[in-house]
Amino acid sequence: SESTFKRNNKSNMGSFKKIIMACSIATSCFVLEPIILGSTQYLSRFFSRKIEDKIDLEKTLEIEMRKLGMNKKVNATFGLYTGAKKVKRGEYFLTLLKGERVVDLRHELYHIYDNHCEDTLFIRRENLVNELKYLWIYEPQATIYSLIGLKL
């Protein structure tokens, strides 16, 4: 009957609107999260001290590791990229571009602290699911720690 058609149609429109709303929110988050966190991290560089040389890097690394309560072995140097990686069990390597700041060191150090380097997803982001986990879980955690010191 016509009233049944209207009820079903209205019900379907409500479901359709919910799907559109959910997709809109997900898309907004997908686009806005990296922009907001990335912008905040970029702007924080203006308020973060520049790491001047290898000695300064090692001293700052020691201070920041103490703040995190880390007892892992981390070697740090200046190199061609900024990043952190696991060398072998319990040993890590952190590289910073020359001219990076304390906020950048804190970011990479948090990846080591929170065992992101242990996860193969951190190392091999071969598919969309792995890439999203990296972008939506690991990067925001490290960024938030580097900015305000909150361990998530």
Average confidence (pLDDT) over 68-77: 95
Residue 2 has pLDDT above 60, yes or no: no
pLDDT tens figures, 4-63: 545 555 555 567 677 776 666 656 556 666 676 667 777 777 788 999 999 999 999 999
Q: Can you tell me the distance from the alpha carbon of 147 to that of 103, in angstroms, rounded to the nearest whole number?
A: 7
Strand partners, 97: 79
Residues 6+ apart with CB under 8 A from 147: 40, 41, 44, 103
Question: What are 77's two structure tokens?
Answer: 């140097």
Mean pLDDT within 77-93: 92
What's the pTM? Answer: 0.75
